[in-house]
Structure 1
Amino acid sequence: MNIESGTVNQIANQITNQIDIIYEDEFLVAINKEAGLLVHRSWLDKDETRFAMQLTRDAVGCHVFPVHRLDKPTSGVLLFAKSPAVARSLTEAFTEHNITKQYLAVVRGYMPEQGVVDYALSFKPDAIADKFADLDKPAQEAVTHWQRLAQVELPFAVSKKHDTSRYSLVRLTPETGRKHQLRRHMRHVFHHIVGDTSHGDIRHTRFFRTHYGCTRMLLHAQSLALSHPVTGEPLLLKAALDDQWMRILEEFAWVESAKV
């Protein structure tokens, strides 16, 4: 089954405190999380009042259980279970790499056509959320595959070293699910994700904000492929891109390249 969210009512959803539901049955619910929305309450953002978990619960009328996470600035497919048993099954499927996640990103520079980043990531604690965590954890295996979908060269000198600026549209497929894995892996190979204020290059983030009105990180969880944990039916959940993403794709003639 192929399920894709639409772009209609996305702005209205934000205004009316609703959520964009991609798929729902008696066992699961998947949403298209907007950029800037926390998955659940966190001490790191004590002033936030909107959370994907609570909004989804209110929309479907029952408790929901998160089975994976998306960073606050990342948009896209976010899956919840409706019971602890289904949540355990899905968590196990994620752990055993039986669920395929594909992300869309805009990165600085021209990336090769395809490749893989196999680079272990050390534990990076949050000052409050991980206050009591073990800081001596060894680096964890982390693997990310990429495919370059399109590229563009712009007549702007964002860096003093170059007269022009180059960017790539890439599809990222992580094998593992480490904290900030895609953002840290792209930084590791010097192809920072545009708009990433923690692991990116501020010069390119400012350029996109000034020239294209882009105020978000250009990382989107575009699709999630899995077997239904109860029926076994194959599911392909797809999340539509927001207005800022579409403006960039149209500006660079990347709309067709970005399709799943």
Structure 2
Amino acid sequence: MNDYQQYFSMIAENQFFIVINKQAGINFHSEDGEFGVVVAAEKYLNIKLYSVHRLDKMTSGLLLLAKSSEVANALSLLFKSHDIQKFYVAISDKKPKKKQGLIKGGMEKSRRAMWKLTNQKDNLAITQFFSYPLSEGKRLFVVKPKTGKTHQIRVALKSISSAICGDHLYAEKYNEYDRGYLHAYQINFNLYGQDYCFSCLPETGDLFLSQVFLTQIETLGDVSQLAWPKL
């Protein structure tokens, strides 16, 4: 086991980029003398890497890192034009107001480090989701964010009364869980004429490792092929 597996595991690498599975509870940027996941990946590969998107500390899953500023610029343009599709999985112990659909609103800073969803169009966040029953009152959410705002998915699910299990900011009984149950599960894009699709399961979390979750995910297959409505 190398020193960096506490930060991430490798999913894919080519001449343009790497894809890693970031572990839950790891900072994106280096803080308080602790490596962030990007620095850990740079040290592991002994190369300079360029970030084009980020994940919250509590969130695990797929992170795309460019190997050059040129590739980073190309990927950033794809993100800006919404030509990179990202899909997340989350688990909540609260029944949602609606089982699937669109969550749309303005993101506004709230108290502490929290955000809230408003009826305004400033800093607009657009999130699509499907939900599925798991066992013991838990629900699986498959989420496709159209925009990439800070805490977007966490705030969106909270707004439909389904805060994510273990979310220390938005869930009431967060300390009942061993982690925050949000994971970047799949990413699809086309770079330089080549189509890419990567997916990875969470590596930690009792609920994510449960057979009922794994069976449901396997049943869904390629989540980009779900009946996502046209926006």
| TM-score bracket, shorter-length normalisation | 0.7 to 0.9
Instruction: Write out per-residue CA displacement over residues 150-187 of structure 1, whole angstroms, 9 at most, x where no aligned residue.
Output: 333x3xxxxxxxxxxx2211101100000000001111
Is the CA contact (8 Å cut-off) linking 2:157 and 2:163 kept in structure 1?
A: yes
Is 1:140 the counterpart of 2:123? The answer is yes
Q: 2:194 and 2:214 mapped to 1: Cα distance? A: 30
* Secondary structure class of the residue paired with 1:119: strand
The separation in 1 between residues aligned to 2:36 and 2:112, in whole angstroms, is 19
| Matching residue's letter, 1:217 | G
Q: Match of 1:254, SS?
A: helix
Corresponding letter in the other structure for 1:108: D
Cα deviation, residue 30, structure 1: 0.9
**Per the alignment, in what secondary structure is the counterpart of residue 101 of structure 1?**
strand
Q: Residues of 1 paired with 2:88 and 2:147: CA distance?
A: 13
2:73 is aligned with 1:114 = no
Q: Is the 8 A contact 2:90 2:182 kept in 1?
A: yes
* Structure-2 residue corresponding to 1:57: 42
The alpha carbon displacement at 1:139 in A equals 2.7
1:66-102 CA-partner distances (Å, limit 9, x unpaired) = 0000001100000111111111111111111101111
CA 1:122/1:239 → structure 2, altered by over 3 Å: closer, same or farther? same
Sequence identity of aligned pairs in percent?
26
Residue 21 of structure 1: aligned partner = 10
Structure 2 partner of 1:235: 196
Query: Residue in 1 aligned with 2:175?
Result: 206
Q: Partner letter of residue 192 of structure 1?
A: A
TM-score (norm 2): 0.83
**1:198-222 residue CA offsets vs partner (Å, 9 max, x unmatched):** 1222x2x233x3xxxx2x1000000
Cα RMSD (Å) of the superposition?
2.4
Change (3 A) 1:251 1:27: closer
Contact map agreement 1:110 1:151 (CA 8 A) in 2: no
In the alignment, what sits opposite 1:104? 89
- 1:57 and 1:63 in contact (8 A); partners too: yes
**CA distance in 1 between partners of 2:4 and 2:15 (Å):** 27
Greater Rg by CA:
1
Contact preservation (8 Å) 2:7, 2:22: no
Distance in 2 separating the partners of 1:27 and 1:126: 39
CA contact (8 A) 1:105 1:220 kept: yes
* Equivalent residue, structure 2, for 1:133: none
Letter in 1 for 2:61: G
Cα distance in 2 for residues equivalent to 1:79 and 1:15: 17
Match of 1:134 in 2: none
CA–CA distance in structure 1, aligned partners of residues 5 and 142 of structure 2: 32
Aligned to 2:228: none
- 1:150 counterpart = 2:119: no
- The separation in 1 between residues aligned to 2:51 and 2:111, in whole angstroms, is 21
- On the 8 A contact 1:13/1:20 being kept in 2, the answer is no
Partner residue in 2 for 1:30: 19
The runs of 5 or more residues in structure 2 that have no matched partner are 114-120, 222-231
Q: Is the 8 A contact 1:113 1:148 kept in 2?
A: yes
Q: Is the 8 A contact 2:127 2:143 kept in 1?
A: yes
The answer to whether 1:220 aligns with 2:199 is no
More strand by share: 2
Tell me the equivalent position of 2:63: 78
1:254 Cα offset (Å)? 2.5
Following superposition, the deviation at residue 140 of structure 1 comes to: 0.9
Give, in whole Å, the separation in 2 of the partners of 1:109 and 1:14. 37
Secondary structure, aligned partner of 1:23: strand
TM-score (structure 1 length as normaliser):
0.74
Task: Report the alpha carbon displacement of residue 15 of structure 1 after superposing the two structures with TM.
Answer: 6.7
Aligned residues: 212
